[in-house]
Structure 1
Amino acid sequence: MTANPTHLVVGPPRHGVVTFALDLAASLDRGNRPAPTVRVDDWTDLDGALDRVGRTDGVHLNFTDRLFGSTPRDAADRVVDLVGHFTSAGVRVTATLHDVPQPADGGNYHQRVAAYRTVCSAVHGRATNSEHERSLLAESKVARSADVVVVPLPLHLGEAPSSRPLVERRSVAVLGFLYPGKGHREVLAAMADLPRDVEFVAVGEPSAGHADLVEHLAESARAAGRQFTVTGYVPDEALSAAVRRVSVPIAHHRHVSASGSLNTWIAAHRRPLAPANRYTIEHAARHPGTLRLYPDTGHGMRDAIASALDDPDSTWLTADATSGSAPADTARLYMQAFDRWHD
């Protein structure tokens, strides 16, 4: 059987998980059978959207608790109800699990573990975007590694720019939504000994409820005598140009388990700095030449930023950089998994 499940995509259009889910559905090639997709912008509208799925080979979700409910338990209960709805009609439900629980989640960790365990028990097939995430699920006793398929995030290197933009002002930049734990505070602190004319740039917009972080960063930058810029939302067609204009790209996410922002830097032919941890080491091994890893300490980050400013060429991909999971590879692995899960 060649399965072609419906992709039930829940969440606001700019959310990274939603972008991934829509790109995945668009990449699947079943000849003249495009992957059916049903969009729901908010989980509060999910129940009313189930009938829009219609007859289908199956249903696939991209799950993170924050997109499916007001609390981890609420999100898990909603998925259980959804699975029950479709199972009663003989339809299987599978899920890619994002933002998987890890001890660094703090006080919310145990609630998230319970929620993800409930979801994994309810669905008929499970995937993560990294070996690191699969290991986190096993370590938290959410799901056995043997019951989870790893399908790495797609990484398309694209063509190198014909020329590099002229840098009018040196800068260090973090890409993506602004929220605590993304690394903005740590990066700004690591810039303390750099010349004051090196700007700190946040390429992106604040996550809902975190406008105060922008105010805090701006105040810290002013106290340090450093220019701080928040670009706000950058549309897809302008994103490559935006990330090519900065001097030093860095991804210091404190709780990373699979990172779309890393791949966005790399797709624009930048070679971002990143702390050495289980996920980034896995990423660097899968995609040789795409990251510059540094020891995950304040001193390690300070040295890496200073070195990159002194050697701007090191922040760009070279000809030997390689993607180990091109978009076509990711699509093929998902189609193989769907054929097993929805047989």
Structure 2
Amino acid sequence: MNMTHLIVGPAEHGVTEYARLLVDHTGGTPATLESTLRPGPVHVTFTDHLFGSDPEQAVDAVLAAVEGHPFCVSFHDVPQPEEGAERFERRSRAYRRLARAADLAVTNSRHEASFFNAEGMRVHAIPLPLPEAPPPSVAPVPGTVGVLGFIYPGKGHETIIDAAHQVGGLTVRALGGFSAGHEDMELPGVDVTGYLPDEDLWAQMDRIAIPVCAHRHFSASGSLMRWLAAGRRVLVTDSDYAREVAELFPEQVVTVTDWPAALADAAADEGFAARVDKQHRWGWPEVATAWQDLWIEHFGPWLRGNVPPAVEGVAPAPVSVVIPYYNDLDSLRRVVAGVENNGHGSDVEIIIADDGSTTAPEVTTSLPVTVVRQDDLGFRAAAARNLGVRSARHEVVVFLDGDTVPCPGYLTAMSRWVTADPRCVVVGTRLQDGVEPQWLNDAWGYTDHLRLADETSFRFIISSVLATSKTMFDKVGGFDETMVGYGGEDWELGWRLWNAGAIFLHDPEAIADHLEPDWAARGKPEEMKLAEKNAETIALASRITHPIARPAGVVFDRQDIIVHLPADTPEPVVKAWLDAGDVHVTGPTSRLFRADPRVGPGTGRVRIDLDQPLLPPADLPARVARAEKLGGLAILRHNNQDVGRIRAERVVNRSPGIIHTQMHPWTGTQRLERWLAGW
């Protein structure tokens, strides 16, 4: 996954630990302030004192490190008025400056987000995860009160000491060490453990009867999340944040305004120290998925490898214009005149690809013209265009239909993208009587002119206003010449171009006028138009394996997903995968599937390799789509264990993302007759 994580600070610091765990559960590449960051988005897990000697210097360090990159920030230790007016103001300016500079800003609570949202900034909230807690090792010691985490002013130790003294009979334990610079804090009567490794920390937490979070001001707390993960009831200083967490964990969070009374009540309640069985599921898999959702929304083009190149200052390059033609000389002459008068500042050649016209076309122009012809064997626009490209002398190829006239500047606008990056596949703006078809206009809106293109965007590749490089065109083998009849060959080409790593984009400045009415407005009988469209759909269904192009339950020569399972996979697991979608299975050797064409050697657009015979996830299409949106390569993880890999045909980065999913082993009967008959 093309996400770099900027991480600073000691491993034992809670914010640094969060950053490293985020990498472990989402994928991507860790980096430091000293690293040379690779192109693409950067994620920063930020608290000011880790990045600089003062808040402004900390922000300066971040902005210098991410310069030239899109970036997002996970804000921690968000400023609060309780810090004191001068400190709050100083930190507030820095935090808000960083939030305004970021492409995406996220906090750990709605309460923290409100600090930014009050300034008109949109900041998201992803609650801290519950860590994985081991089973309890010892019983709680009656009368023990536990404060978890680093010791520093404002953490509430003094409050708990005073309250415990008023109640009497209670022992206060601080599970953690002193924060740097606060080693001289005095905590009379408190048992301070010092820093504890993770395993020892959980064990010490088990010994506590009354967990507390008595921060004077806090808006996110890893300590609180640990207590909740252990299934413990926790006394928490009442605040907006405490009430927010209590909404998620109503059986565990007890908000406190009177600490002596709260401690006395908890000490008298024999059930307070008992574990709560019903726990809200919010661990790292859920947090990682929430982060990925935001990254996909804000950084999708970088993750999917669809970032257009910079074209400012790109000089006009030689262009080969390929025009398929059939028996419409008047329209062709208008198209050729439009090319001749386009004002392109470099060489232009015209190639007319005649699809079996009655007589060869003749046009008069100052530009070099080549006419190539093929026999009339039906509507073979795909083969005609390929014939034209084979005669093209230039790297940049622009396709125009024989009834589509380019406006001045069209060739320069289209070709500049391909010149800047030969992976570009550019769609121009085709107008009919000055108006673009509504379905295309809508598509440019919700795809941001194809900048947000994905594996379904082949539907917006229009061959009448198209530009590509010969390199990219030849890489995929050009148009599919077996497609005969009206329509669909451009979608099929777009499908293969996307899977081969093309960059899709629409250029609204590249305008061409369509002389004939659009297909929907042509005066054909409805029965004929229906037959044409249905024939196109059927032709595409056998060639485009994506679920939006073919009906579920129909077996085609090539499936969309190929799943490799271990050889000894139980038959019910194989059958479950075959039922999960357009799936082909390799690996299993059971004779039960000997005649099934979907079992055995094969290929697919998406390949899933499993390390063990697991049932498919209930949301298989969504898992596949997530892998593609993260760059086409991902590790499948079930219950925090890696169980396989998923790879799409289009892979734009070699660093895999992490896909959290549920893939359980078969737990039913091993007797096939019972499985088949259901008894």
State the TM-score, normalizing by the size of structure 2.
Answer: 0.42
Instruction: Verify the 8 A CA contact 1:290 1:317 in the aligned structure 2.
Output: no
**CA distance in structure 1 between the partners assigned to 2:293 and 2:180 by the alignment:** 36
Describe the shift of the 1:243–1:63 C-alpha distance in structure 2 as closer, same or farther (beyond 3 A).
same
> 3-state DSSP class of the match of 2:92?
helix
1:94 maps to a residue whose letter is C
Q: For residues 22-46 of structure 1, what are the alpha-carbon distances to aligned partners after superposition, in whole Å with 9 as ceiling and x for unaligned?
A: 1111111xxxxx42112x4xxxxx2
**CA distance in structure 1 between the partners assigned to 2:140 and 2:278 by the alignment:** 24
**2:83 is matched with which residue: 105, 108, 117?**
105
Q: For residues 251-278 of structure 1, what are the alpha-carbon distances to aligned partners after superposition, in whole Å with 9 as ceiling and x for unaligned?
A: 0111111110001112222211112210
Structure 2 residue 231 is matched with structure 1 residue 238: no
Residue 139 of structure 2 corresponds to 165
> 3-state DSSP class of the match of 1:50?
coil
Instruction: Verify the 8 A CA contact 1:247 1:312 in the aligned structure 2.
Output: no
Instruction: Verify the 8 A CA contact 2:232 2:276 in the aligned structure 1.
Output: no
Matched ranges for 1:292-331 at <5 A? 292-295=254-257, 300-323=258-281, 325-331=282-288
Residue 622 of structure 2 corresponds to none
Instruction: Verify the 8 A CA contact 2:42 2:66 in the aligned structure 1.
Output: no
**CA distance in structure 2 between the partners assigned to 1:126 and 1:103 by the alignment:** 21
> 3-state DSSP class of the match of 2:291?
helix
Instruction: Verify the 8 A CA contact 1:244 1:270 in the aligned structure 2.
Output: no
Q: CA deviation at 1:66?
A: 0.7
**CA distance in structure 2 between the partners assigned to 1:164 and 1:202 by the alignment:** 18
Instruction: Verify the 8 A CA contact 2:216 2:237 in the aligned structure 1.
Output: no
Residue 126 of structure 2 corresponds to 151
Describe the shift of the 1:37–1:340 C-alpha distance in structure 2 as closer, same or farther (beyond 3 A).
same
Q: CA deviation at 1:119?
A: 0.7
> 3-state DSSP class of the match of 1:237?
helix
Structure 2 residue 165 is matched with structure 1 residue 186: no
Higher strand share: 2
Structure 2 residue 66 is matched with structure 1 residue 92: no
Describe the shift of the 1:166–1:191 C-alpha distance in structure 2 as closer, same or farther (beyond 3 A).
closer
**CA distance in structure 1 between the partners assigned to 2:140 and 2:147 by the alignment:** 19
Aligned residues: 299
**CA distance in structure 2 between the partners assigned to 1:247 and 1:315 by the alignment:** 5
Structure 2 residue 46 is matched with structure 1 residue 63: yes
Structure 2 residue 174 is matched with structure 1 residue 217: no
**1:339 is matched with which residue: 280, 290, 296?**
296
CA-atom RMSD in angstroms:
1.9
Residue 208 of structure 1 corresponds to 180
**2:170 is matched with which residue: 184, 195, 198?**
198
**CA distance in structure 1 between the partners assigned to 2:283 and 2:51 by the alignment:** 29
Residue 225 of structure 1 corresponds to none
**CA distance in structure 2 between the partners assigned to 1:72 and 1:125 by the alignment:** 20
**CA distance in structure 2 between the partners assigned to 1:9 and 1:312 by the alignment:** 44
Instruction: Verify the 8 A CA contact 1:59 1:93 in the aligned structure 2.
Output: yes
Describe the shift of the 1:193–1:99 C-alpha distance in structure 2 as closer, same or farther (beyond 3 A).
same
Instruction: Verify the 8 A CA contact 2:164 2:171 in the aligned structure 1.
Output: no
Higher relative contact order (CA 8 A, sep 6+): 1
Higher helix share: 1
Residue 31 of structure 1 corresponds to none
Residue 191 of structure 2 corresponds to 229
1:322 maps to a residue whose letter is H
> 3-state DSSP class of the match of 1:234?
coil
Percent of aligned positions with the same letter in both sequences? 36
> 3-state DSSP class of the match of 1:320?
coil
Instruction: Verify the 8 A CA contact 1:101 1:112 in the aligned structure 2.
Output: yes
**CA distance in structure 2 between the partners assigned to 1:316 and 1:152 by the alignment:** 25
- Structure 2: unaligned runs, 5 residues or longer: 302-679
Instruction: Verify the 8 A CA contact 2:131 2:226 in the aligned structure 1.
Output: no
Q: CA deviation at 1:50?
A: 2.6
2:30 maps to a residue whose letter is T
Residue 14 of structure 2 corresponds to 16
**CA distance in structure 1 between the partners assigned to 2:108 and 2:274 by the alignment:** 25
Describe the shift of the 1:229–1:199 C-alpha distance in structure 2 as closer, same or farther (beyond 3 A).
same
**CA distance in structure 2 between the partners assigned to 1:166 and 1:252 by the alignment:** 20
State the TM-score, normalizing by the size of structure 1.
Answer: 0.82
Instruction: Verify the 8 A CA contact 1:288 1:321 in the aligned structure 2.
Output: no
**CA distance in structure 1 between the partners assigned to 2:152 and 2:213 by the alignment:** 13
**1:78 is matched with which residue: 52, 57, 61?**
61
Residue 35 of structure 1 corresponds to 28
Q: CA deviation at 1:248?
A: 1.2
Q: CA deviation at 1:159?
A: 6.5
**CA distance in structure 1 between the partners assigned to 2:12 and 2:43 by the alignment:** 20
Instruction: Verify the 8 A CA contact 1:92 1:123 in the aligned structure 2.
Output: yes
1:173 maps to a residue whose letter is G
- Structure 1: unaligned runs, 5 residues or longer: 29-33, 41-45, 222-227
Residue 43 of structure 1 corresponds to none
Q: CA deviation at 1:309?
A: 1.1
Q: CA deviation at 1:340?
A: 2.1
Residue 269 of structure 1 corresponds to 231
1:253 maps to a residue whose letter is H
**CA distance in structure 2 between the partners assigned to 1:166 and 1:66 by the alignment:** 36
Instruction: Verify the 8 A CA contact 2:42 2:71 in the aligned structure 1.
Output: yes
Q: For residues 135-188 of structure 1, what are the alpha-carbon distances to aligned partners after superposition, in whole Å with 9 as ceiling and x for unaligned?
A: 12233x3x52xx212111112575653x75262x63211111000000001110
Structure 2 residue 1 is matched with structure 1 residue 26: no
Instruction: Verify the 8 A CA contact 1:101 1:137 in the aligned structure 2.
Output: no
Structure 2 residue 35 is matched with structure 1 residue 50: yes
